[in-house]
Structure 1
């Protein structure tokens, strides 16, 4: 047991859950990516749709990442890394792949393990979001050519 929780009385209220597991974070961030790409693909003016949907995407990702950083054992302020253009993709990849702390940390108890179907749905939605984002980039005229 960690030192910060060693002196809690046995009848104390449980700590509030301020952690988010990997599958739940993956599902939420992939849904935000799909929504942003869908807005760009469905709009008559994709540049304008991107200009209003991108800040909303960043806000959604930062909100989801806040609790995911808590699950890893870091401060939620690390989610501000998602606002730096070249650091955001590696940070998201790290949040998708990193496991949380195995035991209770200062942000709460370990989240319940996700059922298999939630993990499968998260992976499927994440792959779908990659495809939709690629299509949105193509519609915006941004090519990702491999030369």
Structure 2
């Protein structure tokens, strides 16, 4: 084990195995709605993570990793540990009830339309009416 650890130290330029190459960000992609918050972390380290946002008007982040969705758009949150960067792509969507309802309505209307069209087409091609009679 001593030889392995020694080789590992030389390769990674660190003093222990746990300090080398085991950092991981808790989310790589995240969809939030305006006003939402989410806490992000870099695991595998006891070092301080410095958090920054590429566009804080879309989503801001505190020094503790708490993300706040501020406005519609896209940005990247970066956690810096030493010389390494760990990023999470953020998409912020509208939180308006009408916008969310519209997304649901479009799905439902599309589903109903597709099903109704298929049923009508079947009735016409089979020569039956909507209750199966001729």
The alignment's TM-score, normalised by the length of structure 1, stands at 0.23
Which structure would you say has the larger RCO, counting Cα contacts within 8 Å and 6 or more residues apart?
Answer: 1
Larger Rg: 2
